[in-house]
Amino acid sequence: MRDVLKNILFALVIFMVLVSLFSGANTFFDKENVISLSDLALKAKSGEIKTALISGDKIELTLSDESKVFAYKEASGSLLESLKNLGVNDNDIKKINIQVKTEGGLAYFLINILPIVLPFLLIILFFYFMFRQAKGGQMQAFNFGASKAKLFDANKEKITFKNVAGAEEAKEELKEVVEFLKSPGKFLSMGAKIPRGVILIGSPGTGKTLLARAVAGEANVPFFHISGSEFVEMFVGVGASRVRDLFNNAKKHSPSIVFIDEIDAVGRHRGAGMGGGHDEREQTLNQILVEMDGFERDTNVIVIAATNRPDILDPALLRPGRFDRRVIIDEPDIKNREEILKIHSEGKPLSADVVLRKIAERTPGFSGADLANLMNEGAIAAARKNQKEITQTELTESIEKVMMGPARRSKVYSAKEKEIVAFHEAGHALVAASLSNADAVHKISIVSRGRAGGYTLKLPTEEINFYSKNKFIDELATLLGGYAAEKTVFGDVTTGPHSDLKTASDLARRIVTEYGMSEKMGPMTFGEREKLVFLGKEMGENRNYSESVATKIDEEVSSFIDKAYKTAMKIVKEKRNALNKIASVLIEKETIEQTEFEELMKSMRASGSVA
Ligand code: ADP
Ligand code: MG
Ligand code: ZN
């Protein structure tokens, strides 16, 4: 459209120039020597005029002194009549050599024909450009279905696992994928199925895209890359045909990798948007599922997808045979941050005073992308100061710059917040470790992940099919451990435990109403969960009990919570030394793995600080 406007404007300007040139030509060049008709009559009477050259209504007069003047007559009527009317007698007129010039040639054409023809020309031109534009659009529409997938040239900028710092667990999982791609025969001969889909889950900037490219680089196979947001375009049905095209291409180049970045853009829970209207996305998603299901057993194409919103993904995507492998990429802890900084300082001259560990210490909550950005800002600052090397000063200053910068999306802590989160998570871990029925602590981290400040990952030591009441009670206490620790240490609580409290309340209510584990209420269930089939989600609860029973339920729920809170408080207060120790280790290292945690607890038990 902009092109059309430009063309019209251009044509208009030309038109105006032409018009002003040719209409103005009459008056423009010879303004000063124009005389009136009555002057002309006077001059005729006195015999001053030698010749008169008439062209149109313009008269070019040559006077007796050979000078030239111009005059205009009325458009209709001849010069002779005009002169006669002005009282010039026939004799005087005869003395004048009157010539009439008929206009012709180019000038005639331009002046008389052009003003008539030009508008038509303009209109034709206008339609021509419109047409061309539309045709172009149509051609584009025809090409739309073709996938925009980009094939990364592996030789251009080869990325391997060496370029990705940290994310050890993710790398370990992906190494397996690389092996599948490199020597599928080994697995096929054992009757194993090749995994089809791997989904990378992690906050923005944690290196999901980077890891996917590293897999391609390691396996040395073609890498087809497309972003979910690119699917969501103008015409319905295009997304689906693009997916088909993408997979066809990948199969042709097999073994290969299809990488669907930001899959949440198309992979949203279907039907979740009430009122419909997301046909396009649904069709695209369906096509992805159809393609993945259609893989032959030996199709050596692995689909890697990335998202930072696993919570909104359609469950169909995560079914076996599709994206059944999940790789979670954590935000980097202090050690990994240092490594990422090291990777991105490659090719940048650092002065001897630079201590990357110090920068890592001051950047909790920074993602890999933030750290890459930080190093770059440092380099720019040093260059602007005309330095030969980047010093610690520039790097320290860049921390703030990146923190304030518009591109940052992940959360950054202050030192105080870090301390609070550390004690909070230490509280969960300590309570869990102190109760015999709670799950074992698998990992504690104070690096922000999603909404929660930090997290304590607990996994049952053995597979559990039935949950006992005692287990639930210990679970409740563990959930409240964070809250209890904050309250004990700081005498105040933050919004941090918000989701813990909600989980705890929900669990307590289920213990009473669903599992019939409350002594007071007896072995009975209360309320019927209503499922709205088309949404596949629980929409509400049908109350099938009286108001007084409801009050009793509420009392029971709060008594469960209350007991759990007391248990948590007791543990936290009695083992305050242990709490402090765990928190201080967390502040220093930011993550504690299971073995480390167990050793820490063992050494504290030995020294008598934990019973
Ligand atoms: P995501 O796809 O998770 O949003 P990207 O993979 O696009 O993040 O990461 C953006 C940039 O951040 C990368 O190109 C890289 O420079 C840097 N980066 C992120 N994580 C790491 C890491 N673990 N090691 C090295 N660089 C990283
Ligand atoms: Mg990405
Ligand atoms: Zn918590």
- Tally Cβ neighbours within 10 Å of residue 472: 19
Distances (CA, A) of 204 to 213, 344, 388: 16, 18, 33
CB 484 within 8 A of CB 431: yes
Q: Is the pLDDT of residue 375 over 90?
A: yes
Beta carbon of 368 within 6 Å of any ligand 1 atom: yes
b or e along 322-359 (b: 16 or more beta carbons within 10 Å of the residue's beta carbon)? bbebebebbbbbbebbbbbbbbbbeeeebeeebebeeb
Lowest mean pLDDT among 15-29, 40-54, 250-264, 529-543: 529-543
Name the residue at shortest CA distance from atom 1 of ligand 1. 205
b or e along 498-512 (b: 16 or more beta carbons within 10 Å of the residue's beta carbon)? eebbeebbebbbebb
Q: Is the pLDDT of residue 108 over 90?
A: no
Distances (CA, A) of 562 to 454, 484, 524: 24, 12, 22
Phi, psi of 332 (to 5 degrees): -70, 135
Ligand 1 atom closest to the CA of 336, numbered from 1 = 23
Distances (CA, A) of 170 to 215, 327, 335, 460: 11, 6, 16, 22
Cβ < 5 A residues, ion ligand 3: 482, 500
Instruction: Give CA–CA dist 268/265, Å, rounded.
Output: 7
H helix and E strand count, the chain = 22, 16
CB 302 within 8 A of CB 263: no
Beta carbon of 343 within 6 Å of any ligand 1 atom: yes
Q: Is the pLDDT of residue 2 over 60?
A: no
Instruction: Give CA–CA dist 74/4, Å, rounded.
Output: 44
> What's the mean per-residue pLDDT of the chain?
79
**Burial class for 442, CB neighbours closer than 10 Å (0-12, 13-18, 19+):** middle
Helices (H), 236-367: 238-252, 279-293, 334-344, 356-361
Q: Which of these, 170, 193, 323, lies nearest to 258 by C-alpha position? A: 323
Ligand 1 atom closest to the CA of 203, numbered from 1 = 3
Beta carbon of 164 within 6 Å of any ligand 1 atom: yes
- Tally Cβ neighbours within 10 Å of residue 293: 11
Q: Partners of 328 in the beta sheet? A: 201
Name the residue at shortest CA distance from atom 17 of ligand 1. 369
Name the residue at shortest CA distance from atom 12 of ligand 1. 369
Per-residue pLDDT band for 564 (boundaries 50, 70, 90) equals: very high
Instruction: Give CA–CA dist 548/182, Å, rounded.
Output: 67
Distance 43 CA to ligand 2 centre (A): 90
Residue of 152, 199, 210, 343 to test ligand 1 pocket, by largest number of atoms within 8 Å of CB: 210
| Model pLDDT, residue 24 | 53
Kindly give, in sequence order, each residue whose CB lies less than 8 Å from that of residue 184, ignoring residues fewer than 6 positions away. Answer: 194, 255, 298, 300
Instruction: Determine what percent of the chain is predicted with pLDDT higher than 70.
Output: 79
**Burial class for 435, CB neighbours closer than 10 Å (0-12, 13-18, 19+):** buried
Distance 213 CA to ligand 2 centre (A): 11
Contacts of the segment 49-54: beta carbons below 8 A, 24+ positions apart = 49/95, 49/96, 50/96, 50/97, 51/96, 51/97, 51/98, 51/99, 52/79, 52/96, 52/97, 52/98, 52/99, 53/99, 53/100, 53/101, 54/79, 54/98, 54/99, 54/100, 54/101
Closest ligand relative to 458 C-alpha:
3
Q: Is the pLDDT of residue 4 over 70?
A: no
Beta carbon of 208 within 6 Å of any ligand 1 atom: yes
| Model pLDDT, residue 515 | 81
| Model pLDDT, residue 445 | 84
Q: What is the SS3 assignment for 542-591?
A: ECCCCHHHHHHHHHHHHHHHHHHHHHHHHHHHHCHHHHHHHHHHHHHHCE
Residue indicated by tokens 């040395």: 220
CB 47 within 8 A of CB 4: no
Beta carbon of 167 within 6 Å of any ligand 1 atom: yes
| Model pLDDT, residue 343 | 93
Average pLDDT over residues 54-68: 80
Indicate if the alpha-carbon torsion angle 43, 46, 48, 51 is positive or negative: positive
Name the residue at shortest CA distance from atom 9 of ligand 1. 207
Return the SS3 of 72: strand
Per DSSP, the residues of 451-480 read: TBS-EEEEE-SS--SS--HHHHHHHHHHHH
Beta carbon of 373 within 6 Å of any ligand 1 atom: no
| Model pLDDT, residue 476 | 92
Distances (CA, A) of 53 to 56, 62, 68, 101, 109: 10, 8, 11, 7, 20
**What is the tens place of the pLDDT at every residue in 174-217?**
898 888 888 888 888 888 777 788 999 888 888 999 998 898 88
b or e along 364-396 (b: 16 or more beta carbons within 10 Å of the residue's beta carbon)? bbbbbbbbbbbbebbbebbeeeeeeebbbbbbe
Beta carbon of 340 within 6 Å of any ligand 1 atom: yes
Per-residue pLDDT band for 275 (boundaries 50, 70, 90) equals: very low
Name the residue at shortest CA distance from atom 27 of ligand 1. 368
Residue indicated by tokens 């599992």: 515
CB 388 within 8 A of CB 349: yes
Q: Domains in the chain, start-ordered, CATH in brackets?
A: 2-105 (3.30.720.210), 150-329 (3.40.50.300), 346-404 (1.10.8.60), 415-607 (1.20.58.760)
Q: Is 60 a catalytic residue?
A: no
Q: Which of these, 209, 205, 203, 154, lies nearest to 181 by C-alpha position? A: 154
Residue in 280, 338, 425, 556 annotated catalytic? 425
Average pLDDT over residues 421-436: 92
| Model pLDDT, residue 143 | 46
Average pLDDT over residues 31-45: 77
Per-residue pLDDT band for 511 (boundaries 50, 70, 90) equals: confident
Structure tokens at 92: 């005087």
Distance 425 CA to ligand 3 centre (A): 6
Kindly give, in sequence order, each residue whose CB lies less than 8 Å from that of residue 79, ignoring residues fewer than 6 positions away. Answer: 52, 54, 59, 73, 98
- Calculate the CA 358 to chain-centre distance: 31
Q: Is the pLDDT of residue 360 over 70?
A: yes
| Model pLDDT, residue 274 | 46
Q: Which of these, 591, 590, 165, lies nearest to 342 by C-alpha position? A: 165
Helices (H), 29-104: 37-45, 79-85, 90-95
Angle between helices 469-490 and 547-574 (to 10 degrees): 60
Distance 489 CA to ligand 3 centre (A): 15
Closest ligand relative to 202 C-alpha:
1
Average pLDDT over residues 394-407: 77
Q: What is the DSSP letter of 315?
A: G
Distances (CA, A) of 31 to 17, 24, 38, 102: 20, 11, 18, 22
Closest ligand relative to 409 C-alpha:
1
CB 30 within 8 A of CB 70: yes
- Alpha carbons within 13 angstroms on the beta-carbon side of residue 112 total 9
Instruction: Give CA–CA dist 592/582, Å, rounded.
Output: 9
Average pLDDT over residues 449-453: 49
**What is the tens place of the pLDDT at every residue in 121-151?**
899 988 888 877 665 544 444 444 444 555 5
Beta carbon of 210 within 6 Å of any ligand 1 atom: yes
325-328 and 197-201 beta bridge pairing: parallel
Structure tokens at 45: 């009477």
